[in-house]
């Protein structure tokens, strides 16, 4: 990938169905990825299990949007093997400053215990990665993310690659052609990441609060 990559080039790549990855945290190079089979999570198909319902209703946590974007990216990179190198980190911080990248976070007792981040274009949210420092944190964050996207008018939640974990939550696999058709539709209008949306259950959870930037 060219050393001249910019946030604008990165946004144009997302609009074309591509996203960047590094071979490892220590790699200096990035490469474009365009999977033949794409993972997405239909916003009307997220599966909230009984155990996850109990976790959310138990509460005792706070969900924040863009509270500490850099810390979320760092949390996602804090693993034995990662595709998030220094260039990835810098590029997504630039996108965040430009309003095209956002994080959703779970906090307990003043500590960041889980989160996810992604890129926004039109009505598409391109989820990049997530992390969890306590049981079910990433699932809880994802549940709140889905409701936020639904409330904001989003139509596409791109998860890049299909995984058994995402499949258990309602994620599906589609062809490259179908993905690009959905992407084209999502880019034809705008959405708003700002609204916190409703609680991801039929009734508000006790002890859980939502903060927006």
> Which distant-in-sequence residues (6+ apart) come within 8 Å of 110 by Cβ?
none
Structural domains of the chain, with CATH = 35-78+99-211 (3.40.630.70)
- DSSP designation for 16: T
Q: Which residue has the higher pLDDT, 55 or 208?
A: 55
Identify the band that residue 5 occupies on the pLDDT scale cut at 50, 70 and 90: confident
Span 169-200, pLDDT tens digits? 999 999 999 999 999 999 999 999 986 655 56
Residues 69, 141: Cα–Cα separation, whole Å: 14
- Cβ proximity of 11 and 121 under 8 Å: yes
**pTM of structure:** 0.89
Span 33-80, pLDDT tens digits? 999 999 999 999 998 888 988 889 988 999 999 999 999 999 998 877
CA distances from 129 to 112, 116, 134, 158 (A): 15, 6, 16, 11
* DSSP collapsed to 3 states, 79-135: CCCCCCCHHHHHHHHHHHHCCCEEEEEEEECCEEEEEEEEEEECCEEEEEEEEECCC
pLDDT over 90, % of the chain: 64
Span 84-140, pLDDT tens digits? 888 888 899 999 999 999 999 999 999 999 999 999 999 999 999 999 999 889 999
């Amino acid at each position: 990938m060219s050393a001249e990559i910019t946030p604008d080039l990165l946004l144009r790549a997302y609009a074309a169905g591509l996203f960047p990855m590094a071979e490892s945290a220590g790699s200096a190079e990035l490469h474009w990825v365009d999977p033949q089979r794409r993972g997405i999570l239909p916003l009307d198909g997220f599966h909230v299990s009984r155990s996850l319902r109990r976790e959310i209703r138990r509460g005792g946590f706070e969900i924040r949007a863009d509270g500490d974007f850099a810390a979320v990216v760092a949390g996602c990179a804090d693993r034995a093997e990662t595709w998030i190198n220094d260039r990835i980190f810098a590029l997504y911080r630039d996108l965040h400053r430009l309003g095209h990248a956002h994080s959703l976070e779970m906090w307990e007792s003043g500590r960041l215990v889980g989160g996810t981040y992604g890129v926004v274009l039109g009505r598409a949210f391109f989820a990049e990665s997530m992390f969890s420092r306590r049981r079910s944190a990433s699932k809880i964050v994802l549940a709140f993310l889905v409701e936020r996207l639904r409330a904001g008018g989003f139509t596409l939640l791109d998860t890049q690659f299909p995984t058994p974990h995402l499949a258990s939550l309602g994620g599906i696999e589609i062809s490259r052609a179908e993905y690009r058709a959905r992407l084209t539709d999502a880019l034809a209008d705008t959405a708003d990441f700002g609204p916190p949306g409703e609680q991801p259950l039929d009734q508000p959870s006790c002890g859980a609060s939502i903060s927006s930037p």
